[in-house]
Amino acid sequence: MNSSRFADRVVLATGTASGLGLAAARQFANEGASLVLVDRDEQSLRDVVVELSGMGANVVPVVGDVSRALTAQEAVRTALSQFGRLDVLFNNAGIDPLEATTLVETTEDLWDSIINVNVKSAYLFAKEAIPAMIATGGGAIVNTASSAGMRASAQEAAYGISKAAIIALTRSLARDFSAQGIRTNAICPGPLEAITTDRRATMSDEQKAARRERVSDLVPLGREGTYEEVAKSVLFLASSESSYTSGAALLIDGGLIA
Ligand SMILES: NC(=O)c1ccc[n+]([C@@H]2O[C@H](COP(=O)([O-])OP(=O)(O)OC[C@H]3O[C@@H](n4cnc5c(N)ncnc54)[C@H](O)[C@@H]3O)[C@@H](O)[C@H]2O)c1
């Protein structure tokens, strides 16, 4: 263990069965956190729990859909019953369906699921987590937005709108709860090493290769970001190293929209 910024800290993180959530969960575990991990992918989540427990971390899974109030309630209840407190909430689960292109092409069902999974979830989890954090003197919330929430990406309208809403939700929470010791910040990653699982599942190999090529042309740093690089910023915003930062939307995009 290199450092232990999260020793005695309890972290609740969503979307941790793969990608960014998994990379952040590994780093939190490596720095001494106790973890409640939420995902709808039961098998992969169980594999993650075995891996992190093997590192010596205290980890409890909650399997469920983050857009449902019951999942948020169960997750916060689990943090309190298993570990007695909640210090960090990482709202990270998200979807980016390939079929949801322009608003005209986006079906109402797709719109609802993108807004529910990407935005309503953060409202539900914050609503449950904040009273628990206030009870022990405060905490930190980190929300996963996207560079697409700052500058519209073509053919990805509802997703970009959901991520702009997450930035606004972050600022509202910072306004309303910083005085009670809860800092809320967002991360805005640019294109990462893999696109979200749901989007990847419907893309052809040619489409994936074209994306990689487009990214290396567009991003000033000339490549996609890694999940580990972005997770480091999540831990920074969740830790006391960022003690004067609340309401920020941190771009981690290789200079894409500079
Ligand atoms: N990959 C990128 O290029 C990129 C760029 C910017 C922002 N992001 C954002 O980062 C976050 C993580 O993305 P990722 O790349 O790690 O994708 P991912 O698909 O690897 O991980 C998302 C996780 O969330 C889970 N999940 C999805 N819907 C859920 C639901 N309704 N209930 C519970 N769990 C659910 C999935 O099972 C998965 O484990 C997302 O919010 C995404 O929008 C990703």
Tens digit of each residue's pLDDT (9 = 90 or more) over 56-77: 999 999 999 999 999 999 999 9
Distance of CA 179 from the midpoint of ligand 1 (Å): 30
Is residue 1 pLDDT above 50, yes or no? Answer: no
Mutate to test the pocket of ligand 1, among 197, 203, 208, 256 (most ligand atoms within 8 A of CB): 197
Tens digit of each residue's pLDDT (9 = 90 or more) over 183-208: 999 999 999 999 999 999 999 999 98
Q: Find all residues with CB under 8 Å of 218, minimum gap 6, and list them.
A: 256
Tens digit of each residue's pLDDT (9 = 90 or more) over 83-95: 999 999 999 999 9
With a pLDDT cut of 90, the percent of the chain lying above it is 97
Which CATH number belongs to the domain containing residue 142 in this structure? Answer: 3.40.50.720
Pair 181, 198: CB distance under 8 Å = no
Q: Determine if residue 221 is left, alpha or beta; phi over 0 gives left, psi from -120 to 50 gives alpha, anything else beta.
A: alpha
Q: What is the dihedral of CA 192, 197, 202, 205, to 10 degrees?
A: 50
For residue 161, what are the domain limits?
10-194+226-250
Q: Is residue 219 part of a domain?
A: no
Go through 45-59 and write b for each residue having 16 or more CB atoms within 10 A of its CB, e for each that does not.
Answer: beebbeebeeeebeb
Domain count, the chain: 1
**Short-list 50, 41, 1, CA closest to 21:** 41
Pocket of ligand 1 (CB under 6 A): 15, 17-21, 39-41, 65-67, 92-96, 117, 144, 146, 189, 191-192, 194-197
Instruction: Name the catalytic one among 123, 159, 227, 244.
Output: 159
Distance of CA 118 from the midpoint of ligand 1 (Å): 9
Q: Is residue 92 part of a domain?
A: yes
Q: Is residue 206 part of a domain?
A: no
Tens digit of each residue's pLDDT (9 = 90 or more) over 6-30: 999 999 999 999 999 999 999 999 9
Atom 1 of ligand 1, residue of closest alpha carbon:
195
Distance of CA 76 from the midpoint of ligand 1 (Å): 20
Q: Is residue 213 part of a domain?
A: no
Q: Is residue 2 part of a domain?
A: no
Give residue 85's pLDDT. Answer: 98
Tens digit of each residue's pLDDT (9 = 90 or more) over 109-149: 999 999 999 999 999 999 999 999 999 999 999 999 999 99
Is residue 229 pLDDT above 70, yes or no? Answer: yes
Distance of CA 19 from the midpoint of ligand 1 (Å): 7
Average pLDDT, integer, range 214-223: 94
- Residue 214: band (very low, low, confident or very high) from pLDDT cuts 50, 70, 90: very high
CA 163 to ligand 1: nearest atom? 43
Clarify whether 159 is annotated catalytic.
Answer: yes
Distance of CA 95 from the midpoint of ligand 1 (Å): 6
Q: Is residue 5 part of a domain?
A: no
Is residue 2 pLDDT above 70, yes or no? Answer: no
Q: Is residue 124 part of a domain?
A: yes
Give residue 54's pLDDT. Answer: 97
- Residue 3: band (very low, low, confident or very high) from pLDDT cuts 50, 70, 90: confident
Average pLDDT, integer, range 91-111: 98
Mutate to test the pocket of ligand 1, among 12, 16, 20, 96 (most ligand atoms within 8 A of CB): 20
Q: Is residue 59 part of a domain?
A: yes
